[in-house]
A and B are shown apart, each in its own frame.
Chain A
Amino acid sequence: MLIRKGAEASLYLETWHGRKVILKKRLEKKYRIPKLDLTVRIQRTKHEPLIIHKAKKAGVPTPIIYMIDIASSTIVMEFVEGNRLKEILDKLSHEERRNLCKRIGVLVGKLHRSGIIHGDLTTSNMILTPEGKIVFIDFGLSEQSFETESRGVDLHLMKRALLSTHFTNAEECFNSIIEGYREVMGGETEEVLNKIEEIEKRGRYVSER
Chain B
Amino acid sequence: MRKQEGYCLGIESTADDFGVGIVSFKGEILANVNDTYRPEKGGIHPREAARHHARVAERVIMEALRRSGLKPKELSAIAFSQGPGLGPCLRTGATAARALASYLGIPLIGVNHCVAHIEIGKLISGARDPVTLYVSGGNTIVAAFEAGRYRIFGETLDIAVGNCIDVFAREAGLGLGERQPLGRVVEEKAAKGENFIPLPYTVKGMDLSFSGILTATISLLKSGKYQIEDICFSFQETIFSMLTEVTERALAHTEKKEVLLTGGVGSNNRLKEMLKIMAEEHDATFYSVPKEYALDNGAMIAWVGVLSYKYGLTIPINESFVKLKWRLDEVEIPWVEENYAD
Binding site for B on A (CB under 8 A): 6-8, 29-33, 35-37, 39-40, 43, 119-120, 141, 143, 202-204, 206, 208-209
Contacts and interface: CB of A to CB of B under 8 A. Distances in A.
A31 B151 contact: no
Contact of A31 (B204, B249, B275, B329): B275
Given A31-B275, A36-B201, 6 more contacts: A7-B252, A32-B241, A32-B274, A36-B196, A39-B198, A206-B147
Nearest to A32: B241
Nearest to A30: B277
Contacts of B205: 119-120, 141, 143
Given A202-B327, A208-B146, A32 B237 contact: yes
A207 to B, nearest CB: 10
B244 interface: yes
B147 A33 contact: no
B36 interface: no
A171 B160 CA distance: 36
Nearest to A33: B237
Contacts of B41: none
Contact of B151 (A6, A7, A206): A206
A208 B198 contact: no
A35 B196 contact: yes
B245 A29 contact: yes
B248 interface: yes
B2 interface: no
B225 interface: no
B178 interface: no
Contact of B147 (A43, A203, A204, A209): A209
23 contacts: A6-B252, A8-B245, A29-B278, A31-B241, A31-B244, A31-B273, A31-B277, A31-B278, A32-B237, A39-B201, A40-B201, A43-B201, A119-B204, A120-B205, A143-B204, A202-B327, A203-B330, A204-B329, A206-B149, A208-B146, A208-B147, A208-B151, A209-B146
B238 interface: yes
Nearest to A35: B196
A143 to B, nearest CB: 6
A31 B133 CA distance: 16
Contacts of A35: 196
Nearest to A154: B205
A7 B248 contact: yes
B253 interface: yes
B281 interface: yes
Contacts of B198: 36, 39
A31 B196 CA distance: 15
A202 B204 CA distance: 19
B60 interface: no
A33 to B, nearest CB: 5
Interface in B205-244: 205, 237-238, 241, 244
A204 B149 CA distance: 11
A7 B277 CA distance: 14
A119 B206 CA distance: 10
A73 to B, nearest CB: 14
B152 interface: yes
Nearest to A141: B205
A30 B278 CA distance: 7
Contacts of B273: 31
Contacts of B241: 29, 31-32, 36-37, 40
A204 B201 contact: no
Interface in B101-152: 146-147, 149, 151-152
